Protein backbone atom coordinates (compact mmCIF):
# COMPACT_ATOMS: atom_id res chain seq x y z
CA UNK A 1 0.00 0.00 0.00
CA UNK A 2 1.26 3.48 -0.87
CA UNK A 3 0.98 4.66 2.73
CA UNK A 4 3.43 1.94 3.76
CA UNK A 5 6.00 2.55 1.02
CA UNK A 6 6.56 6.31 1.12
CA UNK A 7 7.82 8.54 3.93
CA UNK A 8 5.04 9.99 6.07
CA UNK A 9 5.71 13.53 4.90
CA UNK A 10 5.64 12.78 1.15
CA UNK A 11 3.25 14.90 -0.93
CA UNK A 12 1.61 11.76 -2.38
CA UNK A 13 0.68 10.70 1.17
CA UNK A 14 -1.09 14.05 1.64
CA UNK A 15 -2.99 13.40 -1.60
CA UNK A 16 -4.00 9.93 -0.40
CA UNK A 17 -5.25 11.28 2.94
CA UNK A 18 -7.14 13.99 1.09
CA UNK A 19 -8.82 11.42 -1.18
CA UNK A 20 -9.69 9.17 1.76
CA UNK A 21 -11.18 12.20 3.49
CA UNK A 22 -13.17 12.98 0.34
CA UNK A 23 -14.59 9.45 0.29
CA UNK A 24 -15.69 9.74 3.91
CA UNK A 25 -17.07 13.21 3.26
CA UNK A 26 -19.17 11.93 0.36
CA UNK A 27 -20.31 8.96 2.43
CA UNK A 28 -21.35 11.34 5.19
CA UNK A 29 -23.35 13.41 2.75
CA UNK A 30 -25.23 10.33 1.53
CA UNK A 31 -25.64 8.32 4.72
CA UNK A 32 -27.25 10.53 7.31
CA UNK A 33 -27.52 7.75 9.88
CA UNK A 34 -23.71 7.52 10.01
CA UNK A 35 -23.16 11.21 9.46
CA UNK A 36 -21.29 12.19 12.61
CA UNK A 37 -18.88 9.28 12.42
CA UNK A 38 -18.17 9.79 8.72
CA UNK A 39 -17.71 13.53 9.12
CA UNK A 40 -15.31 12.94 12.00
CA UNK A 41 -13.29 10.52 9.91
CA UNK A 42 -13.31 12.86 6.92
CA UNK A 43 -12.10 15.68 9.16
CA UNK A 44 -9.31 13.48 10.52
CA UNK A 45 -8.11 12.63 6.99
CA UNK A 46 -8.32 16.25 5.79
CA UNK A 47 -6.35 17.38 8.86
CA UNK A 48 -3.65 14.77 8.18
CA UNK A 49 -3.42 15.94 4.57
CA UNK A 50 -3.15 19.56 5.74
CA UNK A 51 -0.44 18.73 8.28
CA UNK A 52 1.67 16.99 5.65
CA UNK A 53 1.20 19.78 3.13
CA UNK A 54 2.19 22.34 5.76
CA UNK A 55 5.39 20.37 6.40
CA UNK A 56 6.24 20.19 2.71
CA UNK A 57 5.11 23.58 1.44
CA UNK A 58 5.19 27.14 2.66
CA UNK A 59 2.04 28.02 4.62
CA UNK A 60 1.07 30.41 1.83
CA UNK A 61 1.44 27.84 -0.97
CA UNK A 62 -1.73 27.44 -3.06
CA UNK A 63 -1.57 23.64 -2.58
CA UNK A 64 -2.68 24.17 1.04
CA UNK A 65 -5.91 25.98 0.09
CA UNK A 66 -7.88 22.85 -0.98
CA UNK A 67 -7.20 21.21 2.40
CA UNK A 68 -8.45 24.31 4.20
CA UNK A 69 -11.53 24.32 1.97
CA UNK A 70 -12.24 20.65 2.72
CA UNK A 71 -11.88 21.13 6.48
CA UNK A 72 -14.14 24.17 6.27
CA UNK A 73 -16.75 22.10 4.43
CA UNK A 74 -16.86 19.52 7.21
CA UNK A 75 -17.36 22.24 9.82
CA UNK A 76 -19.99 23.85 7.59
CA UNK A 77 -21.90 20.56 7.37
CA UNK A 78 -21.63 20.13 11.13
CA UNK A 79 -23.19 23.54 11.64
CA UNK A 80 -19.96 24.95 13.12
CA UNK A 81 -20.15 28.03 10.96
CA UNK A 82 -17.51 30.14 12.71
CA UNK A 83 -14.94 27.39 12.30
CA UNK A 84 -15.94 26.85 8.68
CA UNK A 85 -15.63 30.57 8.04
CA UNK A 86 -12.11 30.60 9.51
CA UNK A 87 -10.91 27.79 7.23
CA UNK A 88 -12.57 29.23 4.13
CA UNK A 89 -11.06 32.66 4.84
CA UNK A 90 -7.59 31.19 5.29
CA UNK A 91 -7.87 29.28 2.01
CA UNK A 92 -9.17 32.28 0.08
CA UNK A 93 -6.48 34.51 1.58
CA UNK A 94 -3.77 32.14 0.34
CA UNK A 95 -5.19 32.17 -3.18
CA UNK A 96 -5.68 35.93 -3.24
CA UNK A 97 -2.19 36.65 -1.87
CA UNK A 98 -0.75 34.34 -4.53
CA UNK A 99 -2.56 36.49 -7.12
CA UNK A 100 -4.61 33.52 -8.30
CA UNK A 101 -7.19 35.06 -10.61
CA UNK A 102 -9.27 32.07 -11.61
CA UNK A 103 -8.92 28.39 -10.88
CA UNK A 104 -11.16 25.57 -9.80
CA UNK A 105 -9.95 25.67 -6.17
CA UNK A 106 -10.87 29.33 -5.86
CA UNK A 107 -14.25 28.74 -7.52
CA UNK A 108 -14.95 25.88 -5.09
CA UNK A 109 -14.01 28.07 -2.13
CA UNK A 110 -16.28 30.86 -3.33
CA UNK A 111 -19.15 28.40 -3.79
CA UNK A 112 -18.62 27.00 -0.31
CA UNK A 113 -18.53 30.53 1.11
CA UNK A 114 -21.92 31.05 -0.57
CA UNK A 115 -23.32 27.88 0.97
CA UNK A 116 -22.04 28.93 4.39
CA UNK A 117 -23.48 32.43 4.13
CA UNK A 118 -26.82 31.01 2.96
CA UNK A 119 -26.93 28.68 5.97
CA UNK A 120 -26.18 31.68 8.18
CA UNK A 121 -29.18 33.48 6.57
CA UNK A 122 -26.89 36.11 5.04
CA UNK A 123 -28.49 35.84 1.62
CA UNK A 124 -26.97 38.98 0.16
CA UNK A 125 -23.43 37.78 0.91
CA UNK A 126 -24.32 34.28 -0.30
CA UNK A 127 -25.53 35.65 -3.62
CA UNK A 128 -22.36 37.70 -4.00
CA UNK A 129 -20.18 34.61 -3.49
CA UNK A 130 -22.32 32.53 -5.86
CA UNK A 131 -22.04 35.19 -8.56
CA UNK A 132 -18.25 35.39 -8.16
CA UNK A 133 -17.99 31.59 -8.36
CA UNK A 134 -20.26 31.46 -11.40
CA UNK A 135 -18.28 34.18 -13.17
CA UNK A 136 -15.05 32.36 -12.44
CA UNK A 137 -16.36 29.00 -13.61
CA UNK A 138 -17.73 30.61 -16.77
CA UNK A 139 -14.33 32.18 -17.40
CA UNK A 140 -12.56 28.86 -16.82
CA UNK A 141 -14.97 27.00 -19.07
CA UNK A 142 -14.59 29.60 -21.82
CA UNK A 143 -10.78 29.50 -21.62
CA UNK A 144 -10.71 25.70 -21.71
CA UNK A 145 -12.97 25.52 -24.75
CA UNK A 146 -11.33 28.14 -26.98
Instruction: Report residue 8's pLDDT band, with 50, 70 and 90 as the boundaries.
Output: confident
pTM, to two decimals? 0.76
In a domain, 62, yes or no: yes
In a domain, 1, yes or no: no
Per residue in 28-87, pLDDT (tens digit) is 766 655 567 788 899 999 999 999 999 999 989 999 999 999 999 999 999 999 999 999
In a domain, 112, yes or no: yes
The Cα–Cα gap between 64 and 11 comes to: 11
In a domain, 57, yes or no: yes
The Cα–Cα gap between 4 and 70 comes to: 24
Per residue in 115-145, pLDDT (tens digit) is 999 999 999 999 999 999 999 888 887 655 5
In a domain, 96, yes or no: yes
More confident residue, 114 or 139: 114
Question: How many domains, the chain?
Answer: 1
CATH number, domain with residue 27: 1.25.40.10
Give residue 26's Cα distance to chain centre.
13
Instruction: Domain of residue 36: give its range.
Output: 10-144
In a domain, 41, yes or no: yes
Amino acid sequence: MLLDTLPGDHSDIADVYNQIGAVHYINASVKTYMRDSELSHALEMFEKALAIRQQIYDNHDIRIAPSLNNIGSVYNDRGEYDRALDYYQRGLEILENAKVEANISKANLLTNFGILKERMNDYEAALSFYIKADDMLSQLLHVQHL
